[in-house]
């Protein structure tokens, strides 16, 4: 647990909570959603039983909590295996839809949990997300929004509402391959937007199949013509390139807003430009999340 | 360790050993390479230090070993991290090339280790294999040979020599995704050549990108419209389909010989037929390996 900013209790209007599978982050938000302070812990939803959520949050909030301050959560905390299920809100979904569909945990310190969003076709689920919808609402403009990560989401926002989206398992594949596959001998350190990264992106954009190109990372390291850093970058490039190559077929090059941590948006910006996406803007994920929590909460009033 | 057949020591002409990363299999081979007996253990090359290979093999062979009987090994045992490095034999490589390039371990019970094969272009390694070259030599005919597995190999044999090949990380991706990704909640049991498998193959052949289609397996299970067995089959279909879709661009539909265990050749046969490969023949991997070991040994005489 850490307290990122100095105390400012009196100005607090909302406690916003971003509770994912592997992280828990709480923010004290003041006038117009300004972040007054932040705390985080590694007690993600994935490691908690249902009865553990309330005490875990109470412990993190500590002296922040007092009667009359609303608490609004988003993320996997609202999954079926989380604190309390907040059933997916069907797309198209905007700030008002999310506010209306939020569920309350009840109890001594009730929290409202913002639901995820789903896309259905002919009565079947096509795709789901939890957490990224708040980032998209926080970005607060229409167009194509891309949230990189374990499960990257390409989100189309129309008329202020999430119209449709698609999930790519890019980050999860990277973690599995870099840490648990034969490629673990050929990679080292975080991927950077280097020449090796762009080489990987370029090969994927040229249509090289992932399942074939991945092994070339192993072969290049046997040949001593690729450092571990280059291996990481090339692996990342092949995976991000494959994601962008597929998405480009759906969307064509158009303005795109990246919402993520700088290490990720740097990589994606370089890859998107190589793929012909000229207008790429990057937003900080934390800023988009707190903005989105604030906007949904305002709509609850 | 197990002894698959009754004793027949006197007829033994060769002890053939298939020593991979996770397995060790020894065969007593008689007249014309007939398998007289087989023993195996899980002491694969990946779990052994260099000095452990000789005693591990001696323990497995036990009463099989006697002076004057040759021992020939293939597989990852000849890797740099194995018993003794048998440097890759450059393609094109046939039975004579492999026999000439084999290395001897020396010691009390010397073994000859058959090298793997590599493909280079302009002085750079392009692809490598260890073990599959013996299966391809064992298949003993020209044409396209496909060895499914952790690292599937598509091998072109011309004039009795391995001319070129390409590696697809299909089996390793399946293991990682089925056991360690979010999809582990959506799969169960071995993949079978069911409707869900063919659905996955068809989607991959139609060009759906792997990184996007994988998450649909998770979504379908949230919707309760996919059993874990169907999840396994669909995941396998998407991955095998992606491999075949990529390889089809290189080779076009042509006669193909599968060399693998029946569970794998059944899946690949169904997928290849869907992809337009009309003439698909399946060979048992163990039979191809022992045949290949025999052929290379004969060439050493």
| pLDDT tens-place string over residues A72-97 | 999 999 999 999 999 999 999 999 99
User: What is the spatial distance between Cα B198 and Cα B221, in angstroms, rounded to a whole number?
Assistant: 18
Asked if B181 lies within 8 A of A168 by C-beta distance, the reply is no
Average pLDDT score over residue span A155-172:
97
Q: Which of A103, A127, A125 is nearest to A114 (CA)?
A: A103
pLDDT tens, A211-261? 889 999 999 998 888 999 999 999 999 999 999 999 998 888 899 999 999
Instruction: Enter the ipTM.
Output: 0.89
State whether residue A178 is helix, strand or coil.
helix
For chain A, the average pLDDT equals 94
User: What is the spatial distance between Cα B221 and Cα B232, in angstroms, rounded to a whole number?
Assistant: 11
Cβ proximity of B171 and B267 under 8 Å: no
Q: Distance (Å) from the C-alpha of residue B186 to the closest C-alpha of chain A?
A: 15
User: What is the spatial distance between Cα A38 and Cα A129, in angstroms, rounded to a whole number?
Assistant: 24
Q: Distance (Å) from the C-alpha of residue B88 to the closest C-alpha of chain A?
A: 11
Beta bridge partners of B37: B28
Between the alpha carbon of residue B112 and those of residues B41, B50, B68, B296, the distances in Å are: 20, 15, 13, 11
In chain B, the percentage of residues whose pLDDT exceeds 90 is 87
HSE-up of A189 (CA within 13 Å, CB side)?
Answer: 10
Say which of A173, A182, A223 has its CB closest to residue B211.
Answer: A173
Q: CB of B263 within 8 Å of any CB in chain A?
A: no
Q: CB of B128 within 8 Å of any CB in chain A?
A: yes
Instruction: Grade residue A9 by pLDDT with cuts at 50, 70 and 90.
Output: very low
Question: CA Rg, chain A, in Å?
Answer: 20
Q: Tokens in use for B218?
A: 């998770």
Asked if A212 lies within 8 A of B176 by C-beta distance, the reply is no
Q: Which of A250, A266, A259 is nearest to A197 (CA)?
A: A266
Instruction: Grade residue A192 by pLDDT with cuts at 50, 70 and 90.
Output: very high
Q: What pLDDT score was predicted for residue A2? A: 46
Cβ proximity of A74 and A18 under 8 Å: yes
Asked if B246 lies within 8 A of A170 by C-beta distance, the reply is no
Other C-beta atoms within 10 Å of A299: how many? Answer: 16
Q: Which of A43, A55, A39, A35 is nearest to A109 (CA)?
A: A55
User: What is the spatial distance between Cα A48 and Cα A173, in angstroms, rounded to a whole number?
Assistant: 24
Instruction: Give B254's contacts (C-beta < 8 A, 6+ positions apart).
Output: B143, B144, B277, B279
User: What is the spatial distance between Cα A84 and Cα A79, in angstroms, rounded to a whole number?
Assistant: 7
Q: What pLDDT score was predicted for residue B183? A: 96
Instruction: Grade residue A282 by pLDDT with cuts at 50, 70 and 90.
Output: very high
Q: Which residue has the tokens 């903005």?
A: A291
pLDDT tens, A250-262? 888 899 999 999 9
Q: Are strands A35-41 and B103-104 parallel, antiparallel or unpaired?
A: unpaired
For chain B, which ranges sit under pLDDT 70?
Answer: 1-10
Q: Which of B134, B3, B110, B23 is nearest to B64 (CA)?
A: B3
DSSP string, B129-168: ESSHHHHHHHH-SSEEEEE-STTEEEEEEETTEEEEEEEE
**Terminal CA-CA length for chain B:** 31
Selected residues 215-244 of chain A with any CB under 8 Å from a CB in chain B: 215-216, 219-220, 222-223, 225, 239, 242-243
- Mutation to test the B interface, candidates A149, A179, A212, most B Cβ within 10 Å: A212
């Amino acid at each position: 647990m850490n307290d990122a900013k100095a105390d400012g209790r009196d100005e607090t209007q909302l406690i916003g909570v971003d509770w994912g599978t592997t992280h828990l982050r709480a923010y004290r938000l003041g006038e117009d959603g300004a972040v007054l302070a932040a705390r985080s812990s590694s007690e993600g939803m994935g490691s908690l039983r249902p009865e553990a959520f309330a005490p875990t949050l109470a412990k993190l909030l500590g002296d922040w909590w007092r009667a009359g301050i609303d608490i609004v959560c988003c993320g996997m905390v609202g999954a079926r295996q989380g604190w309390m299920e907040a059933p997916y809100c069907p797309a198209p979904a905007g700030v008002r839809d999310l506010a209306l569909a939020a569920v309350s945990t009840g109890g001594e310190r009730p929290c409202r949990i913002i639901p995820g969003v789903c896309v259905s076709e002919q009565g079947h689920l096509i795709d789901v997300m939890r957490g990224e919808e708040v980032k998209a609402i926080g970005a607060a403009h229409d167009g194509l929004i891309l949230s990189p990560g374990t499960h990257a989401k390409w989100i189309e926002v129309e008329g202020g509402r999430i119209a449709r989206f698609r999930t790519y398992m890019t980050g999860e594949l990277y973690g599995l391959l870099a840490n648990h596959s034969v490629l673990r001998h050929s990679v080292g350190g975080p991927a950077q937007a280097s020449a090796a990264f762009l080489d990987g992106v370029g090969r994927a954009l040229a249509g090289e199949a992932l399942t074939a190109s991945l092994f070339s990372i192993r072969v290049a390291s046997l040949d001593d013509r690729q450092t571990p850093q280059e291996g990481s970058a090339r692996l990342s490039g092949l995976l991000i390139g494959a994601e962008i190559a597929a998405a480009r077929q759906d969307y064509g090059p158009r303005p795109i807003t990246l919402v993520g941590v700088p290490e990720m948006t740097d990589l994606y910006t370089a890859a998107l430009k190589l793929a012909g996406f000229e207008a790429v803007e990057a937003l900080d994920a934390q800023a988009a999340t707190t903005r989105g929590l604030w906007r949904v909460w305002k709509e609850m009033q």
